Chain A
């Protein structure tokens, strides 16, 4: 029997609710049911237009899953991920290539940065879509939920851009990270930048997420060890208004603000830091996440307040790190008609290359063989040559950290200011 249309199903459900609900008049229901049914049909008719279904693989293909936020405050990352795997698939599936003689296909599951959605999303990918492995994610809270599922269901997961140390520190056999960790970013990049440029007083503003709180703690430890006075404020992740926090920061009088605020909230933070007379008037702001400073409309949203703003990035379009990097920029420009702006497109591109390489070397999609192959990875990707660390007992286990840059906006141009050997210009403080 054919199922009833969605509109009828909802109406029927509403009728059932009405039948047991003493506050709904049966008379009113009878009078309006037909009209209501029509209204619901109109609404549901819109769903096929806006719904994005998964990509179904044919028999002659191998599927991998991608997890990441397509909705929510960091939905822009989902777009970057889409661009990243689109470029990677073009390369992997080029004529004469592929994986094990088959086409590589991707199924993208939206996690919205929400741990519950993330856990059910990766479980769907593994059990329903039967993916060989999963790559992606940029929210630590979501990734911390995903790693438990991946390890329980014994399917390899390569994290691209979720930085919390525990993601790899837990020592899970099926979990890898080909991207930055909080410790790596703070110890290898940020602290070096702070010390090298002689900042005297630092304020930390961190969002109340696993990533924000984790990186805040590491930054505090680093500043304490370096004997640099600092203050810390934790802010609500969804908050748009930061005047209260910025006023406290201003009173402290720092010359650098480390803003661990991800998503569109960073745009509000930068604009308001300028309105309250903090940055760049008396202090520089360093966006500790990176991509929000590169998203389209950044300049429209922050105005002149964006000048001299700093951000971390693993990508410099003007200085490709490897031949693969160069090929990525060329392929991206060819496909999208411009240079990539969000480095997370490149991060996702990298993880797809790693996945394809592991499947080819494993000679199968067997999970244990894939883990074995991943542990033996020696592959040049856009950000360098990947070799996963195999020493258990720390966040470095199953991780490879790409070199991170500190970039400054100077008259709307990106200038790499740290590390010195990769710098393209000098840091400007005023």
Chain B
């Protein structure tokens, strides 16, 4: 039973963090109909920024995390304005542009930061004996709490603020929202920046645990896409449920079937879920 609880806890922790970076993809897909292949590279960028701010500039790790997330938000705004905006209306173009951007960023990281893993100092060290049952890393527990807070804040933003209402209206009917005075271009810009910032937030939370390397973003993007498709394209609640489901199933699969094929379990869940619900767990069938 203790083992099961450990696997469940770890699955939950990983799942919440999966959900956090998948929410960025869901937001951008839901609002802009753009699949951002460079999402994982923005996660990596935040990791590098936080390591750089904390190590080279001597910032406190917590401040470095906030600054890194803000920087990725600004990078997101610039990417939207220069690279994504010309592709509106053509999903294929946005795919091509973001795919090329991901390759450019990977090579850029390799050139600038080198191949070695980078991380900022841990905010906390050591491990806690959870429920007197098993030892669990304090940085992971903190990461879980931070990711949870970020997700709650994101839902509050979408549910209760003017910006959230605008985002939801554009997501439901872009033309109608436009007729009601919403500026879709500005919403796109902010939504893309926010989506990137969510990737960045996940990046700064996870980098102290899993240091970043130039190509690690590929796996992050893949996981985010699996979560988004599993939860239902563009569904925020689906992202959270999909992320947790993926994290838990990966851990239970690795524990009770084989740890050699951990990543395979994600795809098995995805295929099974799509077989039963083609639109994803929380997705709606399109008319």
Say yes or no: is A197 at the interface (Cβ < 8 Å to chain B).
no
Say yes or no: is A296 at the interface (Cβ < 8 Å to chain B).
yes
Do residues B127 and A208 form an inter-chain contact, with CB atoms below 8 A?
A: no
Interchain CB contact (< 8 A) of B93 among A14, A47, A303: A14
Say yes or no: is B213 at the interface (Cβ < 8 Å to chain A).
yes
Do residues A245 and B254 form an inter-chain contact, with CB atoms below 8 A?
A: yes
Give A172 Cβ to nearest chain B Cβ, in Å. 29
Do residues B90 and A39 form an inter-chain contact, with CB atoms below 8 A?
A: no
Do residues B259 and A235 form an inter-chain contact, with CB atoms below 8 A?
A: yes
Closest A residue to B128 using CB positions: A275
Say yes or no: is A354 at the interface (Cβ < 8 Å to chain B).
no
Say yes or no: is A323 at the interface (Cβ < 8 Å to chain B).
no
Do residues B107 and A233 form an inter-chain contact, with CB atoms below 8 A?
A: no
Do residues A277 and B86 form an inter-chain contact, with CB atoms below 8 A?
A: no
Report, as a range, how many residues of chain B touch the other chain: 35 or more
List residues of B (6-22) whose CB comes within 8 Å of A's CBs. 6-7, 10, 14
Instruction: Write out the residue numbers on chain A whose beta carbons fall within 8 Å of the beta carbon of B209.
Output: 268
Instruction: Write out the residue numbers on chain B whose beta carbons fall within 8 Å of the beta carbon of A24.
Output: 90-92
Do residues A241 and B10 form an inter-chain contact, with CB atoms below 8 A?
A: yes
A40, A49, A50, A274 — which one has the most chain B CB atoms within 10 A of its CB? Answer: A50
List residues of A (61-77) whose CB comes within 8 Å of B's CBs. 70-73, 75-76
Instruction: Write out the residue numbers on chain B whose beta carbons fall within 8 Å of the beta carbon of A18.
Output: 90, 92
Interchain CB contact (< 8 A) of B87 among A32, A46, A71, A79: A32
Interchain CB contact (< 8 A) of B100 among A40, A51, A240, A244: A40
Say yes or no: is A226 at the interface (Cβ < 8 Å to chain B).
no
Give A336 Cβ to nearest chain B Cβ, in Å. 13
Given contact pairs A244-B251, A267-B211, A303-B125, A42 touches B219 in the complex (Cβ within 8 A): no
Do residues A39 and B108 form an inter-chain contact, with CB atoms below 8 A?
A: no
Interchain CB contact (< 8 A) of B219 among A70, A238, A272: A238
Residue count of chain A within 8 Å CB distance of chain B: 64
Instruction: Write out the residue numbers on chain B whose beta carbons fall within 8 Å of the beta carbon of A14.
Output: 90, 92-93, 96
List residues of A (261-301) whose CB comes within 8 Å of B's CBs. 264, 267-268, 272, 274-277, 295-297, 300-301
Say yes or no: is A385 at the interface (Cβ < 8 Å to chain B).
no
List residues of B (91-138) whose CB comes within 8 Å of A's CBs. 91-93, 96-97, 100-101, 104, 106-108, 110-111, 114-119, 121-122, 125-127, 134-137
Chain A interface (Cβ within 8 Å of chain B)? 10, 14, 17-18, 21, 23-25, 27-29, 31-32, 34-36, 38-40, 42-44, 46-47, 49-51, 70-73, 75-76, 78-79, 208, 233-236, 238-241, 243-245, 247-248, 251, 264, 267-268, 272, 274-277, 295-297, 300-301, 303
Chain B interface (Cβ within 8 Å of chain A)? 3, 6-7, 10, 14, 82-83, 85-93, 96-97, 100-101, 104, 106-108, 110-111, 114-119, 121-122, 125-127, 134-137, 140, 209-211, 213-215, 219, 251, 254-255, 258-263
